């Protein structure tokens, strides 16, 4: 049996680049970094089904939704209303060609809503497709499935602050 080491290396490199892309994407969401969030998606034809938040078509629609949710300011104008923490892992990435791939991810999500005074903890799954554009992997489609969620009120004596304020 002959192993095509160049093909194996190309596949493993693609998988690592896709892992890095997904981590940059969730870090951008947590850090409220609009530009990195935008650059995570293909220029044309991105489609994301974010479950309860809805389905969004096109990179601009995704960025607009992100801005409305993640960048919402508190009513008093002092900082952000919502803080998120996305943790992804257990990826199963399949490289279909030099420019096409797909993957599934487990995600643990935690959100503090300072206006509603709630904390949400949930388990979700991502099912993504990826496309290489100009030599870099980008998210083409993403479907989020919520496996379970728990929402609880924040007690009055719990303070919430963020370095992103």
Q: For residue 84, give the nearest of 120, 43, 126, 60 by alpha carbon.
A: 120
Whether 61 is covered by a domain: the verdict is: yes
Q: What is the CATH number of the domain that holds 95?
A: 3.10.450.50
Domain count along the chain: 1
Whether 10 is covered by a domain: the verdict is: yes
In tens, the pLDDT along 70-106 reads 899 888 888 899 999 999 999 999 999 999 999 999 9
In tens, the pLDDT along 107-141 reads 999 999 988 999 999 999 999 999 999 999 999 99
The pair phi, psi for residue 19, each rounded to 5°, is -60, -45
Whether 163 is covered by a domain: the verdict is: no
pLDDT of residue 130: 98
The 10 Å CB-count burial string (b at 16+, else e) for 53-69 is: eeebebbeebbebbeee
User: β-strands 118-133, 136-153: how paired?
Assistant: antiparallel
Quickly count: other Cβ atoms within 10 Å of residue 105's Cβ: 20
Whether 162 is covered by a domain: the verdict is: no
Q: What is d(CA 7, CA 21) in angstroms, rounded to the nearest whole number?
A: 21
Percent of the chain with pLDDT strictly greater than 90:
79
Whether 53 is covered by a domain: the verdict is: yes
The pair phi, psi for residue 104, each rounded to 5°, is -120, 150
Q: What is d(CA 31, CA 106) in angstroms, rounded to the nearest whole number?
A: 20
Whether 145 is covered by a domain: the verdict is: yes
Q: How confident is the model at residue 32 (pLDDT cuts 50, 70, 90)?
A: very high
pLDDT of residue 163: 62
The DSSP code for 97 is S
Average pLDDT in the 145-150 region?
97
Q: What is d(CA 49, CA 39) in angstroms, rounded to the nearest whole number?
A: 18
Whether 40 is covered by a domain: the verdict is: yes
50 has a pLDDT exceeding 80: yes
pTM, whole model, 2 decimals? 0.92
Could you tell me how many helices (H) and strands (E) the chain has, helices first? 3, 6
Whether 99 is covered by a domain: the verdict is: yes
pLDDT of residue 76: 84
**Domain that includes residue 30, residue range:** 5-153
pLDDT of residue 86: 96
């Amino acid at each position: 049996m002959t192993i095509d080491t160049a093909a194996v290396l190309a596949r493993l490199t693609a998988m690592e680049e896709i892992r890095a892309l997904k981590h940059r994407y969730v870090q951008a969401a947590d850090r409220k970094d609009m530009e990195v969030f935008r650059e995570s998606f293909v220029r044309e034809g991105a489609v994301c089904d974010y479950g309860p938040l809805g389905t969004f078509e096109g990179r601009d629609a995704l960025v607009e939704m992100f801005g409305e949710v993640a960048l919402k300011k508190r009513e008093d104008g002092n900082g952000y209303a919502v803080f998120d923490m996305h943790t992804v892992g257990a990826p199963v990435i399949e490289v279909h060609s030099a420019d096409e791939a797909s993957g599934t991810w487990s995600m643990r999500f935690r959100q503090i809503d300072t206006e509603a005074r709630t904390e949400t903890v949930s388990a979700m799954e991502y099912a993504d497709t990826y496309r290489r554009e100009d030599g870099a992997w980008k998210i083409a489609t993403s479907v989020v499935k919520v496996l379970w969620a728990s929402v609880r009120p924040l007690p009055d004596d719990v303070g919430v602050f963020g370095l992103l304020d």
